[in-house]
Chains A and B, each alone.
Chain A
Amino acid sequence: MWAFLIKRLAGGLLTLFVIATLCFAIIRFAPGSPFSSERKIPPEVLANIERKYGFDKDLHVQYGLRLRGYLSGDLGYSIKYERSVNELLFPSLRYSLMLGAIAFILAVTFGVALGIIAAARHNRIPDYLSMSVALTGICVPNFLLGPLLVMVFSLALSWLPVAGWPDGWSWGELSKIILPAIALSMVHIAYISRLTRAGMLDVLNKDFIRTARAKGLSEKVVFLKHVLKNGITPVVSYAGPMAAYILTGSVVVERIFNINGMGRHFVDSSLARDYDVVMGALLIYSTLVIGFNLVVDMAYSFLDPRVRLT
């Protein structure tokens, strides 16, 4: 167990190092700079600005300084906003994480529920219904679903707010989060319901289920205790990649619903060549993904003791 944790943490750190290096190489060797605006800057002024941000040093010196910064938890300095990257990204990360967490919970709850219904009524109307919902979810990506939801529920019916982030605890404020959360989680509801259904149907034919039924357990107990617990393992292994997809999806969903999360900073700062912000955001995302995958793998071995952590 401890050996596993240490090994994975070391691997994670290595991956982060690779990402930082790769990203540094891509953005620094590419043409363009944060100061290449339409306005012509006199070369002396440009040299001054570059000295201020330390761009006059050799690339490998800059790279070393940047890495040392990461080791001490300093993500660098934003040229565009003239603030430290930590100050800029961490408040916005809160929004993204909150939205992502809600979407995650929605995806797991509704996905598993739909999957159970479909498996319990296999090849009957509820099965077909929930699988059609799943299929629609897979074919309608979040950047299409978002505008559609806004069109129907905000503009045509005026039930829910168009955009924004809750700024209080009233219903009017809290309801702002409903549409973005649905837009972000729908695809995953779809995938999870399919995985749950397939996993449960797979288990349903096993001998131990027959035994459970034969010893007189009610259908409900058989389903929720025996079938679900064994059929849900594919869902757990999907949770790792899902976290990454939700983070990616939040980039567009934040844009559609005008939420000031990290995804917007990421895209805006890449367009502005705001080097430290781009790298900082990428490293935060990667840390989240790597950490989440680690948790998922541990949960997996907990659910299925046959899986050894190595």
Chain B
Amino acid sequence: MNAAVAVPVDVAPESRSPGQLALRRFRKNRRALLCFWLLLSVGLATIVVPIVSPHTFYEQTLKRKKETPSATYWMGTDLNGRDLLVRCFYGGRISFAVGLVATFVSLIIGVGYGALSGFLGGKTDLVMMRFVDVLYGLPHMFIVIIAMVIFGKSFIVVFMVLGLFGWMTMSRIVRGQVLSLKEKEFVEAARAMGAGSGAIIWRHMIPNILGPVIVYATLTVPSVMLQEAFLSFLGLGISEPMPSWGGLISEGSGALNPLRIYWWLVIFPGSLLATTLFCLNSVGDGLRDAFDVQQR
């Protein structure tokens, strides 16, 4: 009566998951791959340099203010006689930390909100997306500025505020994916085979959303880092003596004067920031091309 029908399972010898295929395509993209390694080395340097260096980011040598790069101070010293090299790379740690954590916060909110909205559908979906539309209409950087001033300049505030205002696009992407996936035949098949909502979300939805989510998250990191640098430039982000790239550039730009040009104060933190943004954007673009199945 209820004899289980053994379904013969054919395991194809050379089957590759879409993720593996995407990784393969990514490896063929020379610019993206180069940028990936460059990014990795900048990231490693921000960890290693402050440990290895004989200087610290807060130690001042008041006799040696505003020195040009030399053998002792490879990137020169800042207005207070602190070693710029260590400050630059320590600032990099903070920029990366903010970029990653705030992106993670926005990822959690965005994926959760978008998936819920798409999965529930109907009126709930409509209301939830109208809310996102309203948030989109806000000039959010100004609200971020107000929030930073009000809640004080601390790490956690920077993470939370940037994360809380950065999830809208992610939620739209995820919702769109979930909406289209819901109608796909394989989801219907899974449901017909008796899979519950949890299993469908976990086994079928998540793996299929993962591509666009990873791609968009990679592109969120540089934009968050940029926002953090923007806030720190205004003196509202990470506060002294803790360095951050935006703060360092702001310091250098404040020291510009017609008598003597302290170029190193702007050039070094500036080029680190620009390189990192360039690499992150290239890697993100490379990943998008690799995951974008329609484009092939």
Interface residues of A (CB under 8 A from B): 12, 14-15, 18-19, 22-23, 26-27, 30, 32, 135, 138-141, 143-144, 146-148, 150-151, 154-156, 162, 244, 247-248, 251-252, 255-256, 266-267, 270-271, 273, 278, 281-282, 285-286, 289-290, 293
Contacts and interface: CB of A to CB of B under 8 A. Distances in A.
15 contacts: A15-B134, A26-B146, A30-B150, A32-B150, A138-B278, A141-B226, A147-B249, A147-B270, A151-B263, A156-B261, A248-B142, A252-B230, A256-B253, A266-B142, A282-B139
Interface string B255-273: 0111001010010001001
Main secondary structure of the interface of B (DSSP, over half): helix
B143 interface: yes
A136 to B, nearest CB: 8
> Which 8 pairs from chain A and chain B are nearest by CB?
A147-B253, A30-B150, A139-B278, A270-B149, A248-B141, A143-B233, A144-B270, A139-B277
A248 B226 CA distance: 13
A282 B252 CA distance: 29
Interface residues of B, number: 37
Given A138-B281, A139-B278, A155 B258 contact: yes
B226 A285 contact: no
A147 to B, nearest CB: 4
Interface string B123-145: 00000000000100111011101
A282 B143 contact: yes
Given A143-B246, A143-B253, 5 more contacts: A19-B143, A32-B150, A144-B273, A151-B256, A266-B145
Given A19-B138, A155-B258, A141 B145 contact: no
Nearest to A287: B139
A290 B252 CA distance: 36
A143 B273 CA distance: 11
A77 to B, nearest CB: 19
Contact of A162 (B141, B150, B258, B277): B258
A278 B266 CA distance: 31
Interface in B137-165: 137-139, 141-143, 145-147, 149-151
Q: Which of B137, B142, B249, B275 has most A Cβ within 10 Å? A: B142
B223 to A, nearest CB: 11
